[in-house]
Amino acid sequence: MGDLYALDFDGIICDSCGESSLSALKAAKVRWPGLFDGVDSATEDWIIDQMHTVRPVVETGYENLLLVRLLLESRTPSVRKSSVAEGLTVEGILENWSKLKPIIVEEWGENRDALIDLFGKVRDEWLEKDFATWIGANRLYPGVSDALKFASSRVYIVTTKQSRFADALLRELAGVTIPPERIFGLGTGPKVEVLKQLQKKPEHQGLTLHFVEDRLATLKNVIKEPELDQWNLYLGNWGYNTQKEREEAAAIPRIHVLELSDFSKKQISHLYALDFDGVICDSCGETDISALSPPFGCQENGRKQVKIVETAKLRWPSLFDDVDSTKEYWIVDQMITN
């Protein structure tokens, strides 16, 4: 009958850690000017660097603001207001964020909705004033752009990111326009509820359901819901998760741990037209071309270039044995372009 893919955005489609960290720093300066006015560039660079390490704990964007301030307080005793900041390490944040977050929110007298609004406003201002730089602070993971661009199965984005930012990044970085009704962003409810909505739609009956996410906690929440038993669950190990989480996920029968190359080559290839294999076998008679995922195999010129790459792999096996699918995509793309 076909497949339906519900894809997380940050950590699966897009590496937005650079942009979200910089936006959080900008927003923190607005929210707590007295604390951040005297922060020098070296400390700011250190905070941004540490944000990449603690990123796996973030579920919703506003938490980046809390992390930026907590990191500052852990490094600078003179601005310390929280009881948990002294002696706190990034490892401590990774291990205990769910306990630390309510403590600092209360001690700082903060409000979740106010921080969400501020974070969105700062992003909007950056986007409007310097669109190119804002876009450039994000990147799509290799292979994902082409998969989305040529997808024919039903694809939904299920994210805690505000929808307008996900839409802008998909348009600019992937060249893809996903209808707004297929982007479930911040404010549309918990992901488990979104998945329930999707599987109940009449047009989705009979489809094989796939949910690809980078947060183990989210996947475990899905497993707790018997109503969602028919979903195939995947943890993308290229996203914002830790080695410990990946090992834990591997021990859970319901969860498949994916490499990025496998996601692009095996999982994402299912997003293409279901008759792809038929097109390759019947019109070309070259089943070995399926070693490369579409879209290249679906295009006349692309088929020619794929055949050349396959021939090169036979001619010089020692050179091509370690070439993964992402590099193969790039080679074929360059041949088509040039």
Is there a single domain that holds both residue 65 and residue 212?
Answer: no
Say if CB 267 and CB 258 are below 8 A apart.
yes
Is there a single domain that holds both residue 32 and residue 117?
Answer: yes
Q: Which two tokens stand for residue 2?
A: 């076909």
pTM over 0.85: no
Is there a single domain that holds both residue 222 and residue 306?
Answer: no
pLDDT beneath 50, residues of the chain: 267, 272-301
Q: What is the pLDDT of residues 208-263, one digit of tens each?
A: 999 999 999 999 999 999 999 999 999 999 999 999 999 999 999 999 999 988 87
Measured between alpha carbons, how far is 259 from 246 in angstroms, rounded to an integer?
A: 11
Q: Which two tokens stand for residue 289?
A: 């071309």
Q: How many domains does the chain have?
A: 3
Q: What is the pLDDT of residues 173-193, one digit of tens each?
A: 999 999 999 999 999 999 999
pLDDT at 274 (0 to 100): 33
Is there a single domain that holds both residue 165 and residue 212?
Answer: yes
Is there a single domain that holds both residue 145 and residue 248?
Answer: yes
pLDDT at 325 (0 to 100): 66
How open is the CA angle 294-207-143, to the nearest 5 degrees?
Answer: 25
Is there a single domain that holds both residue 175 and residue 287?
Answer: no
Return the number of other C-beta atoms located less than 10 Å from residue 207's C-beta: 18
The CATH number given to whatever domain includes residue 152 is 3.40.50.1000
Is there a single domain that holds both residue 157 and residue 36?
Answer: no
Is there a single domain that holds both residue 195 and residue 290?
Answer: no
Domain that holds residue 104: 17-133
Is there a single domain that holds both residue 265 and residue 175?
Answer: yes
Mean confidence (pLDDT) of the chain: 86
What's at 205, amino acid-wise?
Answer: Q
Is there a single domain that holds both residue 147 and residue 263?
Answer: yes
Is there a single domain that holds both residue 253 and residue 288?
Answer: no
